[in-house]
Structure 1
């Protein structure tokens, strides 16, 4: 196989990637299509059953027809009986300004994804030219891992930036009500976070290894560094590694900071308030007891309760917002690229089992009690989840059709393999597929001689070779794309269109088959409306 980078990278044996190929075939096979379809339908089932669950509670709590804007008006009337409502206003100037600023922020986020690409390219070259032999031999994989770690830190930093920017944009809009401001902030914050998390993943899934050129015509950054190629075992391996590192790091470190932050703040408050403690006559009289022991054992001293409540962390409007945002982004991870990373639902389940206990401890013992607020749904988050469900269908169809080797294997099986004519029965129908998917270059070509030096054309056993192979469908003479490439490309797009239409139809059928509101809730609301109308008629007659 041809060198994967310049200078120190040498030719390598395809058999060295057998282990990675065996692992990748676990999630890049015929069952991946059915699994992706199942997950797409599951998103619809999840949302429909969530709506049924919500409808049961809203009916039980008598808030089915409750309106948040009416609640705000009632509070204004209670505070001032002569108050006037804040009228709806629309400014094309403000809307245009917000649209321009949102576009600039999204371009900045996409630019950060490009910066990560440049980092991986430069890191690959530096690791290949380094003194560590192990990293030199696995420079591509090491660069992908370093890029994923850097991407996580970028996500952490941009979360803070995105929140500030979203708040400023909402201030510019000057929405009519608090509810409208919250909806606007939620949409902006989620959009920024989504692009921050997935812009780099979209590049790895759909562009990595497809825009880097070919031997004799490699695409280079600043005319110096070659664009990175896919992992030798396949492009899905890079996406798998990237998603695994980001998801594990994000869930693990987020849980540590989410629980450790309030605990540390309470510990700081306890140290600051020690000098405010006073000896309570109702507590234990032993002077050698520690202060915290006396507070824990004291039941009649109000001062200890006040101090304990003061030390708890304050909560604000972002406390639950952060939980919603974390869950929705996790929902995105488990659905959008599930075809490339089938372990995402399992990791999400394990994380949620742990986090639900940590959140319970945090809310009960580390934070102050939240102020109850009436509501009948989760607001704009429902629309966000439905949009993610639709995007998951498109993304998984593209991952299977474009990124995986599912379609090339089918084309080879029915058009180019030994069983294509239907007469061969005594051999594997996929025999020769690997050689069929490779193209060859020879060192006697002047263009190739400029790309690879003679030192690079030495096998690990010390043998000099005059040619090497690379994964592509190109002619060995002029490096033009072969008819097989165009056939595979057309079949890829045909599969994407077919997959998306079939899954979308299944989603619509599922949504129609499962009612959003249970029958007992519908009947109960029907009787409530009937009784209300009877009472109104009686009162009008009187």
Structure 2
């Protein structure tokens, strides 16, 4: 009888916690309030509670990053009309004729037609971009270190600081089956080779898809260039980038389904090992899928400049605007559509099941009064909700890791990414809360004292962010060519002028001359005017000029300097901020001392 009362008490406690979370957490009007992590832990278990604790911590620390990115864009907007490069491109008397942007079908065009493009580029490719990239590298390190400290404090309060997950799983297996046969650690080189080959094959497929998207972009731009509508023809490049980004997002959705089915080949020893292996493979595929076209635009598209030889060229202001458009489109579509599907799918399913449920008589619904009635009512109510997957948290973490990658890896090209992530996460927390409390069955509680392998994923992304942003500034941005021109070839250096902008003449300096008369098929198109294209080549033989090698050396030197400085800052920040607070360490040290003293007495 005492056992029944204990069960009843626990059920009532869970029912009260469920109602508390409904009224104080899973509501839209609580979007700016602190999450009740302790109540979440008692109702869902430590694993779910740690996810929401991490998500809340990540969202809170996104605020300074979002403000910094917004300040960078505002700075570019304030000085958008005074930017010398934009002035030269937008000048009414500019008569620079540019070469076609593709091999066939694209006409010659005037540089002044891309005035808006140049001004937009200055919003995020300005003097503050380098400082913002270094700040984000430091931010990623500080965020991880502060999370480690916060995690240690939280799990210490939960008495899980020294908890061993492997021991817990073995204990559960023995409880369920006392004659359980222990599965020892095994490693098959043949199976590992097969998995590695499959991974490489999948990555090759993703690279092929990236190339197909590039070909699609070329074909679409040629089609838009040949349009009779002036509006479409003038914005052919931007529309091609936008449509390519949308198509890229569609391929992401399709490849995600394929990748999940392809990553169940290896059978691990335990559930935790299975979860970790699945996480590594899926995140690798997802990262390559999301960033394949971005890597091409950032690091390869700008390297194939010339007189139409590459199929597609960058704007004279650089390739960073194409990267900005691609990132913004994919990130907005992913966050918007993912949230809609994530919430509407269980909501519609719940409403459908509720409408299809036939009403029953009172005698069938209301059971005889007894000690277990409240428990059974709570169980039945929870059972009528949508079924929950055993890897339900995996999709949530994966979505946040891809978002974190967008927020850090190429943030120099998209400073508004932290702001979009911050707004999305405020909504994401409540969406997940409503889904877990009101629309889905309560997950089986599981213990945890960390977010698991996702922490290693975050550390890897932090290193990639330093490399990625350094490459974006060195290759995609015009920051280095501008500095080389300013301090080597500008009027300020050659003519000792102090009353003019040192970037005066930069556009003309950065465009090479293409003699159209050298190619008979183009003589009827433009017999007197030379075509210009974005590159540093000699007019006589189209070989690389001295300026090209100066800029190449400056890019390489900047990349090495930037990555070493940023990595040193990361290492110093990681060393300066301890992973575990001293109060937590001292608490467990005193506990160990007390236990040893009691044993020795």
What TM-score, normalized by structure 1, do the two folds share?
0.88
The equivalent residue for 1:533 is 596
Does structure 1 residue 185 correspond to structure 2 residue 278?
A: yes
Question: Which deviations, in whole Å up to 9, do the C-alpha atoms of 1:43-85 show, x marking residues without a partner?
Answer: 0000000000100011111111111111111112212334332
Question: Partners of 1:529 and 1:512 in 2: how far apart?
Answer: 26
Aligned-residue CA RMSD (Å):
2.1
Does structure 1 residue 266 correspond to structure 2 residue 350?
A: yes
User: Do the aligned partners of residues 63 and 392 (structure 1) sit closer, same or farther apart at CA in structure 2, a change above 3 Å counting?
Assistant: same
Shift of 1:317: 2.1
Does structure 1 residue 329 correspond to structure 2 residue 402?
A: yes
Question: Partners of 2:118 and 2:309 in 1: how far apart?
Answer: 25
On the 8 A contact 1:280/1:301 being kept in 2, the answer is: no
Question: Which deviations, in whole Å up to 9, do the C-alpha atoms of 1:97-122 show, x marking residues without a partner?
Answer: 11111111111111111111111111
Does structure 1 residue 105 correspond to structure 2 residue 202?
A: yes
* SS at structure 2 position matched to 1:420: helix
Does structure 1 residue 390 correspond to structure 2 residue 463?
A: yes
On the 8 A contact 2:306/2:534 being kept in 1, the answer is: no
The equivalent residue for 1:85 is 182
User: Do the aligned partners of residues 281 and 92 (structure 1) sit closer, same or farther apart at CA in structure 2, a change above 3 Å counting?
Assistant: closer
Shift of 1:535: 2.9
User: Do the aligned partners of residues 162 and 436 (structure 1) sit closer, same or farther apart at CA in structure 2, a change above 3 Å counting?
Assistant: same
On the 8 A contact 1:17/1:233 being kept in 2, the answer is: no
Question: Partners of 1:367 and 1:208 in 2: how far apart?
Answer: 46
On the 8 A contact 2:320/2:476 being kept in 1, the answer is: yes
User: Do the aligned partners of residues 453 and 533 (structure 1) sit closer, same or farther apart at CA in structure 2, a change above 3 Å counting?
Assistant: farther
Question: Which deviations, in whole Å up to 9, do the C-alpha atoms of 1:279-319 show, x marking residues without a partner?
Answer: 226999xxxxxxxxxxxxxxx99998676434311112221
**Which of residues 413, 417, 428 is equivalent to 2:501?**
428
On the 8 A contact 2:301/2:314 being kept in 1, the answer is: yes
Shift of 1:7: 5.2
On the 8 A contact 1:283/1:301 being kept in 2, the answer is: no
On the 8 A contact 1:313/1:368 being kept in 2, the answer is: yes
Shift of 1:155: 0.7
Question: Partners of 1:44 and 1:337 in 2: how far apart?
Answer: 16
On the 8 A contact 1:7/1:453 being kept in 2, the answer is: no
Question: Partners of 1:71 and 1:391 in 2: how far apart?
Answer: 34
User: Do the aligned partners of residues 372 and 301 (structure 1) sit closer, same or farther apart at CA in structure 2, a change above 3 Å counting?
Assistant: closer
On the 8 A contact 1:209/1:228 being kept in 2, the answer is: no
On the 8 A contact 2:113/2:234 being kept in 1, the answer is: no
- Output aligned runs, 1:514-525, within 5 Å: 514-525=577-588
Question: Which deviations, in whole Å up to 9, do the C-alpha atoms of 1:201-252 show, x marking residues without a partner?
Answer: 00010111322x522x714xxxxxxx22223542101000000100111111
Question: Partners of 1:495 and 1:197 in 2: how far apart?
Answer: 27
On the 8 A contact 1:206/1:402 being kept in 2, the answer is: yes
* SS at structure 1 position matched to 2:125: coil
* SS at structure 2 position matched to 1:202: helix
**Which of residues 239, 243, 268 is equivalent to 2:323?**
239
The equivalent residue for 1:2 is 99
The equivalent residue for 2:537 is 474
Question: Partners of 1:421 and 1:231 in 2: how far apart?
Answer: 27
- Output aligned runs, 1:161-172, within 5 Å: 161-168=258-265, 170=266
On the 8 A contact 1:120/1:144 being kept in 2, the answer is: yes
Does structure 1 residue 208 correspond to structure 2 residue 305?
A: no
On the 8 A contact 1:397/1:496 being kept in 2, the answer is: yes
The equivalent residue for 2:237 is 140
* SS at structure 2 position matched to 1:209: helix
**Which of residues 488, 508, 520 is equivalent to 2:571?**
508
- Output aligned runs, 1:31-430, within 5 Å: 31-168=128-265, 170=266, 174-211=267-304, 214-215=306-307, 218-219=309-310, 227-274=311-358, 277-280=359-362, 308-421=381-494, 423-430=496-503
Question: Partners of 2:202 and 2:219 in 1: how far apart?
Answer: 26
On the 8 A contact 2:302/2:314 being kept in 1, the answer is: yes
Q: Which runs of 5+ in 2 are unaligned?
A: 1-97, 367-372
* SS at structure 2 position matched to 1:444: helix
Question: Partners of 1:130 and 1:265 in 2: how far apart?
Answer: 46
Question: Partners of 1:190 and 1:69 in 2: how far apart?
Answer: 24
On the 8 A contact 2:516/2:523 being kept in 1, the answer is: no
What TM-score, normalized by structure 2, do the two folds share?
0.79
Give aligned pairs, total.
498
Question: Partners of 2:257 and 2:391 in 1: how far apart?
Answer: 13
On the 8 A contact 1:87/1:176 being kept in 2, the answer is: yes
On the 8 A contact 1:18/1:233 being kept in 2, the answer is: no
Question: Partners of 2:598 and 2:376 in 1: how far apart?
Answer: 52
Question: Partners of 1:323 and 1:301 in 2: how far apart?
Answer: 32
User: Do the aligned partners of residues 465 and 248 (structure 1) sit closer, same or farther apart at CA in structure 2, a change above 3 Å counting?
Assistant: farther
The equivalent residue for 2:42 is none
Question: Partners of 2:581 and 2:404 in 1: how far apart?
Answer: 25
The equivalent residue for 2:80 is none
The equivalent residue for 1:454 is 524
* SS at structure 2 position matched to 1:25: helix
